[in-house]
Chain A
Amino acid sequence: MSDISNFSDDDDSRQEDCALVDALSELNFEENNIENIRKRKNSDNQEQSETNSDPCSSNSLNFVDEEYDYLHDSEWINQKCQVFILSTAGKPIYTLHGDEDKLNPLFGLLQALVSVVSVSSNGNPDEDDDCIRSITAKNTKFVFLIKNPLILVGVNKSKRSEQQILNQLMDVYNQIIFIVTLKHMKNVYEKRNNYDLRKLVAGSERWIDHLLKDEKQTRISNNSFVSLMHSVRILPMEATTRDNITKTIQTNCSKIKNLVFAVLIANNKLITLVRMKNYCMHTDDLRLIFNVVECSESFKTAENWLPLCLPKFDPNGALYCHISYLSDDCEACLLLMTVDQESFSVLSNAKKNITEKLRRSNYMEAINEGIKDKGINLKTIGVPDIRHFLYKNKKNTQLLCSEITTPYNTLEQFERIEAMYYDLHNRIHRVSRPLKLIYEMHEHEIQLAWVTANYELYATFEPLVEKKSIIIAQVNKLLKYIKKEEDKIFMTGTHIF
């Protein structure tokens, strides 16, 4: 194992020193630019650019008078991460922080930026190559994701790479599709291109908030890494128990027509998944389901019946989903997804039978035991110099993490280590120069990233481990442990009805 020191080459990103605030105060300037472009252009795009710039110009007046202070509100402006969603016509749809309506001029600006770039190329906003992708201003990155009829903008002041911010925006986009379906959204915008999508998203904004991990109290959790690693976490339990739970679901659901997926989850982790032959559940869809279940307290009190769209499965259609928790004393959530909107009572019965069977066979206890699990305890498996690790099983995109202990169990420290993992992940996967191994000594810890054909390992060590042989020995021990416990901590094999 050799030392590989890795320096980030961000020189090209050190452009002019302008932050969000400065960009904002340029609003009038930008607007003049649009005016000029409009005057110069007499092509067939004129009509579009006119409608596009209208909201911008009408709001710029308010901006100078009343809204000025709000846009410079220090609490808002100092957020590390901002996400904005607007329609291609410039209508505000969502902002992670603040109030969309008060930030209206900003949405105008964002829309202007997008349209200036796409108009000045060859005027086809659908063409990927002619879109604005990102702006880097010192430490602040502005990343644009243009998915007609939506524009998503992520602003980030942390070390995250453009790709990572883009992935985050993709997740948000998928969450919106999850709520309204792509087909419906396109239909609405075809009819009226200035439609206010907030009407359709109403009530589900917190799903997006939650996806972006806005809440401080639940912030310190290994769950933050699932989106970085594009994987899901598995509830640990004995392989035979898991098989029996799966069989229980299979036997109770095998006769139900049109049932596509049955998913049992608890504590943001997957217990089991049964699917219809020939159909797969994508990890990204599964993460959206986790997100929605996690932030919908109301699922706990009743049986729920709702249409959901799984964007990777089919962005244009919705599956009807029966969602309910197994029981009051077992916080595992069962989702039964079907294409038949009349089958509520059938699924409701199936759920009752599954619950009864699981209770009789004492599997509820096994699940409860798994829910208590906080992650691998590194002391007990004898690798005390490893403080924390992330292990991604590449074959089935499943993630294993260790328990978050000192010193990373405070918000500040957790965010620091999280940023380090993001940075590490970014550098080892850099498109221009992908690496296999990174080993770095930092001021407060040693970090190792190792990518092989079967797994990715990111580990953080005590800073004072001097001998590399110790590190190698401990990593090997950890890998051996994971191999040995594989059946328990990962879910192997697929199950069909």
Chain B
Amino acid sequence: MKAIEAKIVVLGSQGVGKTSIVAKYISNIYSKEIGPTIGASFFTCKINLNNVKVKMQLWDTAGQERFKAMAPMYYRNANAALLVFDVTNHTSFDEVKGWVLELQKNVQESMFLLLVGNKIDLEERRAVSHEEAVMYAQSIGAQFIETSVVRDQGIEQVFISIGLGLINLSSESKCSSMRRYESKDSLLSSTHSSMTNLSGIQYYDGVHMAIDISQSVEANGVGRVEIGGAWEREAYAHGYPQKTGWCC
């Protein structure tokens, strides 16, 4: 079985729910008491998609200003970035734009970008419209998903689309820092708990198709993948085809 190992960084302002999204997916917990992340937390998780085993090394960073200087340490060599903003807070959306600029400036390699608008359960306080976010995602070649940790909407999709994005990235060999190897584990022996949830989805050919909407998600575009231009070859977020002899 083919396997890839990739580094993913989660970026965004303070209090937008970065840790909540990750914790919800990895350990299926949601707690209001979780407290702000200090520095960064490191998680690993595995997903099997399209017969490829994707091993993710997730860096959940802190949104506080004083940790901003540390960010390059985490996004350097990252293969994907999860850019999280709070749909009720327009400033956090603007700050995501700052992160994108910083990534474009400092990261040479291709990177899969996923824009996540969190807290859609607070619809009445929404400050960033769906259209605005989709437009922006398209302009930077990112995918866009809206999520709610409280209602468990879109969380699964976030990680599936990262996985598919990474597979796609690796199949086009644009990314020298991503590790590719043959895994001896069979699909069934995967220990990850979310495997069962994934079973309905993993047979899709994810590359040109939006992720299926599971029952828990309302059919209003919420929590589903918006296809930006991310899948076309020219439309990667940024970065250039791999140069020979390039070293990171």
Residues of A within 8 A of B (CB): 179-180, 184, 199-200, 202-204, 206, 292, 295-298, 301-307, 321, 341-342, 344, 348
Contact = CB atoms under 8 A, between A and B. Distances in A.
Given A203-B37, A292-B38, 20 more contacts: A199-B65, A199-B66, A200-B65, A200-B66, A202-B14, A202-B64, A203-B62, A204-B36, A204-B38, A297-B33, A297-B35, A298-B35, A298-B41, A301-B29, A302-B43, A303-B43, A304-B39, A305-B41, A305-B42, A306-B40
B48 interface: no
A342 B70 CA distance: 11
A180 B65 CA distance: 11
Interface in B1-53: 14, 19, 23, 26-27, 29, 31, 33-43
Contacts of A184: 66
27 contacts: A199-B66, A200-B64, A200-B65, A200-B66, A202-B14, A202-B64, A202-B65, A203-B14, A203-B35, A204-B36, A204-B38, A292-B38, A295-B35, A297-B34, A298-B35, A298-B37, A301-B29, A302-B42, A303-B42, A304-B38, A304-B40, A304-B42, A305-B40, A306-B39, A306-B62, A306-B67, A307-B70
Contacts of A206: 35
B86 interface: no
B35 A302 contact: no
Nearest to A320: B39
B60 interface: yes
A11 to B, nearest CB: 47
B34 A298 contact: yes
Nearest to B42: A303
A305 B38 CA distance: 8
Nearest to B33: A297
Contacts of A298: 19, 34-35, 37-38, 41
B219 to A, nearest CB: 33
A292 B40 CA distance: 15
A292 B35 CA distance: 12
A204, A297, A301 interface centre (most CB from chain B within 10 Å): A301
Secondary structure at the A interface, as helix, strand, loop or mixed, is mixed
B65 A305 contact: no
A180 to B, nearest CB: 6
A322 to B, nearest CB: 9
Contacts of B38: 203-204, 292, 296, 298, 304, 306
B248 interface: no
B73 interface: yes
Contact of B41 (A295, A301, A321, A341): A301
B244 to A, nearest CB: 26
B23 A301 contact: yes
A342 B65 CA distance: 21
Contacts of B19: 298
Contact of B36 (A203, A307, A341, A342): A203
A458 B97 CA distance: 60
A206 B34 CA distance: 12
B29, B34, B36 interface centre (most CB from chain A within 10 Å): B36
B69 to A, nearest CB: 9
B67 to A, nearest CB: 8
Nearest first, the 7 A-B pairs at minimum CB distance are A306-B39, A203-B36, A302-B41, A303-B42, A200-B66, A203-B64, A304-B41
B42 A344 contact: yes
A106 B26 CA distance: 46
A184 B23 CA distance: 32
B70 A301 contact: no
A200, A297, A306 interface centre (most CB from chain B within 10 Å): A306
A184 B65 CA distance: 13
B30 to A, nearest CB: 12
Contacts of A180: 66
A292 B66 CA distance: 17
B180 to A, nearest CB: 19
A74 to B, nearest CB: 29
Given A206-B35, A307-B39, A302 B60 contact: yes
B35 A296 contact: yes
Contacts of A341: 73
A319 to B, nearest CB: 12
B42 to A, nearest CB: 4
Contacts of B41: 298, 301-305
Given A202-B14, A298-B19, A301-B23, A179 B39 contact: no
A206 B36 CA distance: 10
Contacts of B62: 203, 306
B103 to A, nearest CB: 20
A20 B43 CA distance: 49
A206 to B, nearest CB: 7
Nearest to B19: A298
A66 B51 CA distance: 66
Contacts of B60: 302
A496 B14 CA distance: 39
Interface string B60-94: 10101111001001000000000000000000000
Nearest to B62: A203
A34 to B, nearest CB: 33
Contacts of B64: 200, 202-203
Nearest to A321: B39
A179 B14 CA distance: 16
